[in-house]
Amino acid sequence: MHTIRKLLYKDGTWAFLMLLPNLLGFLVFMVFPVAATFAISFARWELPADIEFAGLANYRRLFADGVFAKVFWNTVYFTAVSVPVGIVLSLFLAIMLDRKLRFVRFYRAAFFIPVISSMVAIAVIWQWIYNPEFGLLNYVLSWFGIRGPTWLTSTTWAMIAVIMTAVWKNLGFNMLIFLAGLQSIPESYYEAAAIDGARWWARFRHITVPLLAPTTFFVTVMAVINSFQVFDIVYLMTQGGPARSTSVLVYYIYQNAFQFFDMGYASAVAYVLFFVVLFLTLLQFLRQKRISIFY
């Protein structure tokens, strides 16, 4: 009795009790599935057949699977193009909109709208834009005498088309983070530099870029992680086609899990993704520690 009363007067007990609902949810919907997926990845489980232990068979199959190699490469390609392009563009936008412009709030909101728009609507509109015969994009290109490709049905251009849409959609989010980063740089540095006669480029190169480094790093890692998990846009715009040229890791997981119901193999692919993302996250954590020491 005494101990219970004592516990009730402790802050820790109350904190724990208040957190319990959230904690339970986290355990049931996060920790348990993560652990279960790991276990399933070592099993042969083609629903609705019974699950049976299969050792490393799924992982061995991964290495021999040409499709897996293809989707992994596609994911890397998507990331390698969309992340740098997205970051350069959003940084540019952030700098442009970090000034005393008329209607600056309107512009910021306008660029942010795609971030909060429904991916389904975006996919439909971009499919129209990419239409080779009646689409806006090829129409604009034709002004310059360029005959645009067939975009979403071309094995070379479909991925580029998907990347352009993805960059456009995420531009506003990165822009916002960059804006916050830019505004946290004290104005006095720029004033001092101006007095010393530094021009725009010198100020950008020697003040903005280094002081923005933590933000840039954060945005980069987040963008890479998100790119590795790209799914909705591919599912909606191309379904991985044509000829798997836009098929990515998560789409392959989806196909194996919910088209072929091969849960074991899907789990194994999911764990490859997990380790990639885990690695990137650790990188971010380590770097964050270092940065907080420096600044």
* Binding-site string for other proteins from residue 69 to residue 108, where x marks contact by CB under 8 A and - marks none: ----------------------------------------
Which residue from 11, 50, 133, 187 is in contact with other proteins, where contact means CB under 8 A? 133
Q: How far is the CB of 221 from other proteins (least distance, A)?
A: 10
Question: Angle, nearest 10°, between helix axes 136-143 and 119-129?
Answer: 40
In 3-state terms, what secondary structure has residue 232?
Answer: helix
Which residue from 128, 180, 279, 290 is in contact with other proteins, where contact means CB under 8 A? 128
> Is residue 292 a contact point for other proteins (CB under 8 A)?
no
And the tokens for 242?
């044509």
Which residue from 63, 134, 200, 295 is in contact with other proteins, where contact means CB under 8 A? 134
Which residue from 75, 79, 90, 131 is in contact with other proteins, where contact means CB under 8 A? 131
* Part of the chain binding other proteins (CB under 8 A), chosen from 7-15, 33-41, 99-107, 198-206: 33-41
Q: How far is the CB of 128 from other proteins (least distance, A)?
A: 7
> What are the CA-CA distances from residue 237 to residues 28, 93, 154, 169, 233 (Å)?
33, 26, 13, 14, 6
Distance CA 150, CA 80 (A): 23
Nearer of residues 208 and 256 to other proteins, judged by Cβ: 256
> Is residue 216 a contact point for other proteins (CB under 8 A)?
no
Number of residues this chain uses to bind other proteins (CB under 8 A): 53
> Is residue 50 a contact point for other proteins (CB under 8 A)?
no
Q: What is the dihedral angle through the alpha carbons of 123, 129, 131, 137, rounded to the nearest 10 degrees?
A: -140
* CB 246 within 8 Å of CB 159: yes
Distance CA 150, CA 131 (A): 7
Q: To 5 degrees, how large is the angle CA 191–CA 194–CA 198?
A: 140
> Is residue 7 a contact point for other proteins (CB under 8 A)?
no
> Is residue 241 a contact point for other proteins (CB under 8 A)?
yes
Distance CA 262, CA 46 (A): 4
Distance CA 264, CA 52 (A): 9
> Is residue 263 a contact point for other proteins (CB under 8 A)?
yes
Distance CA 93, CA 116 (A): 18
Residues that bind other proteins (CB under 8 A): 26, 29-30, 32-34, 36-37, 40, 47-49, 127-128, 130-135, 150, 152-156, 222, 225, 229, 231, 241-245, 250, 253-255, 257-261, 263, 266-267, 270-271, 273-274, 277, 281
